[in-house]
Amino acid sequence: MSHEEVRAKLESSSRALRTATDKVLNSIVSSLDNIPYGMRYVAKVLKNSLHEKFPDATEDELLKIVGNLLYYRYMNPAIVAPDGFDIIDMSAGGQLHSDQRRNLGSVAKMLQHAAANKLFEGENAHMTPMNNYISQTYQKFR
């Protein structure tokens, strides 16, 4: 990057996004024991069923599918719209501001890519500097 000011701003924004993503992910990981038994049971049955259907699939591939299901269906919606799930206090007519929603969307996008171990490319090429972080974060989803 030839412009020092732009590069510095981009690095600062990338650090802030990684920090916010880490906070959300650490909150998720530290709360795994709070996942309802029924959901954990469904995940176990799904993994076992996938193993029967695809006996040549690796453990990593099976966990990737189960992790994606749990993340996309249950966690991602709460991250993107916490006000819709009573996760944050919205009393007295408060609402999330557009910057807050955009930031939550960016964190959710990072976690989506990490859950699937999907590196940024193509239309998301501007995010490729985050690919190393995505690969490292994927290991936490296991």
pTM > 0.85: no
Least confident range of 16-25, 99-108, 109-118: 109-118
pLDDT tens for 60-102 read: 889 888 888 888 888 899 999 998 888 877 776 678 889 999 9
Please provide the average confidence, as pLDDT, over all residues in the chain: 89
Q: Confidence band (pLDDT; 50, 70, 90) for 142?
A: low
User: Domain of 28?
Assistant: 4-141
How many structural domains does the chain have?
1
Q: What is the CATH number of the domain that holds 123?
A: 1.10.506.10
Share of the chain above pLDDT 90, in %: 46
Residue 1 has pLDDT above 60, yes or no: no
Exposed, middle or buried by CB within 10 Å (0-12, 13-18, 19+), for 108?
buried
